[in-house]
Structure 1
Amino acid sequence: MTDHSITTIPADTPLPADDLSRSLTVVLPDDPSIPHISQAGNVYTILVSGEQTEGRYTLIDMLVPDGGGPPPHRHDFEEMFTLLEGELEFTFRGETQTIRAPASVNIPANAPHRFANRSGKTAHMLCMCTPAGQEEFFLSIAERIPDRQSPAPKPDAATQAEKKQLAETLAPKYRTEFLTTK
């Protein structure tokens, strides 16, 4: 049996009172008032932020075009993807497999991983990170776009290099490490 005592409250402890300062969150992915961003050609929509969950998690809607996906990386938070449409290659600890919708993939904290779209079509998935914070990283390095249907900007080489440098500089603050292949 696995010990989950780190993340669970002992059975004999009463539940805390309902926090009436928190409210129900209902969000539509096309709502122009929520953050829509383009990160390296991918289009992400922050559906639920850490601010809304007291830092417990964030939920991000991701549209990943053919050729899209992050470089190999790892971070000290859990990341779960629910692939709604399309297919992606997930590389986890050096092993690559093609995952087709509908499917869910959980990446344990600190494990090296990446995903890549090589299908010829856009893939659509939800990404939950717990605890929250990944959305703040994305918001600090990505370009804001009006909505999730907007085309991703096509930055020139100098802008791409600048964004890559910014991501590498900010990564430690957001508990992320980019991995290089040698």
Structure 2
Amino acid sequence: MAETNRIAEIRNEATVTFSLAELDPEDPRWNKRGALYVPAGEGPTVWAVGDTYTIKATGDQTNGGFGFIEATVPPGGGTSPHAHGDEEETFYILDGELEFLDGDHIFTARTGDFIHVPRGTRHRFKNKSHHAARMIFMFTPPGAEKFIRDYSVPARPGEPAPPISEADAERAQEAIRRINMAVLPEPS
């Protein structure tokens, strides 16, 4: 009983109530700006592996918190199986559906689905439908989003991503050498 009363006392001590009228609106803590705002349709947009990626935030912009990308994956688009040695990757499907590989398991993710891939896990996504899929994904810690930006081709408005060229494949190989990522085979 005494322990229950002490917990209640601690909770009461930790609860601070104040009126907003008591706050000084000139206090710099309330006026400091620092939000990262990237309007819809803005951010560096590139073609990577035949998909269109818009980098909404890099680790430099999020104080090393995460990298954030918006993706449009056309029918037939997607990545090869791979694993990140340093980053975890998290996906949220905005529209459409994508086939995901998780280790040796394949499943279809649809609008509203969430997927988190721990580092060192073989994964990939493919659009096996007739319509483009849209998703957002993030890397924690950040870094891979910069490799995508730096080693991909800038997208041109109103055009689909071109087929992957030999130069694109060479740039991708160089990027893979620079980060701790392994390209892996499909499961048998």
TM-score > 0.5, shorter chain as reference: yes
Aligned match of 1:154: 162
Structure 1 length normalisation: TM-score? 0.79
Aligned match of 2:65: 56
Whole-angstrom CA distance in 1 between matches of 2:50 and 2:175: 19
Aligned match of 2:35: 24
The DSSP-based 3-state class of the residue aligned with 1:83 is: strand
Structure 2 gaps, min length 5: 1-28
1:59-138 paired onto structure 2 within 5 Å: 59-76=68-85, 77-138=87-148
Task: Spell out, residue by residue over 1:45-77, the C-alpha distance to the aligned partner (whole angstroms, 9 max, x if none).
Answer: 011111101222011000000000011100021
| 2:178 paired with 1:169 | no
Structure 2 length normalisation: TM-score? 0.76
Whether the 8 Å contact between 1:168 and 1:178 is mirrored in structure 2 is: no
Aligned residue pairs, count: 157
Higher helix share: 2
The DSSP-based 3-state class of the residue aligned with 2:146 is: helix
CA change 1:55–1:152 in 2 (3 A) is farther
How high is the sequence identity, in percent, across the aligned residues?
31
Whole-angstrom CA distance in 2 between matches of 1:104 and 1:25: 24
Aligned match of 1:15: none
Aligned match of 2:46: 37
User: Which is greater in Rg?
Assistant: 2
Whether the 8 Å contact between 2:68 and 2:139 is mirrored in structure 1 is: yes
CA change 1:153–1:83 in 2 (3 A) is closer
Q: Aligned-pair distance for 1:141?
A: 1.8
Task: Spell out, residue by residue over 1:1-47, the C-alpha distance to the aligned partner (whole angstroms, 9 max, x if none).
Answer: xxxxxxxxxxxxxxxxx8x987101212312xx20111122010011
Counterpart of 2:52 in structure 1: which amino acid?
V
Aligned Cα root-mean-square deviation (Å): 2.0
From 128, 150, 153, the equivalent of 1:140 is: 150
Q: Following superposition, which runs of at least 4 residues in structure 1 exceed 3 angstroms of deviation? A: none
Whole-angstrom CA distance in 1 between matches of 2:100 and 2:45: 24
The DSSP-based 3-state class of the residue aligned with 1:98 is: strand
Whether the 8 Å contact between 1:39 and 1:138 is mirrored in structure 2 is: yes
Whether the 8 Å contact between 2:92 and 2:136 is mirrored in structure 1 is: yes
Structure 1 gaps, min length 5: 1-17
Whole-angstrom CA distance in 2 between matches of 1:40 and 1:174: 17
Whether the 8 Å contact between 1:84 and 1:126 is mirrored in structure 2 is: yes
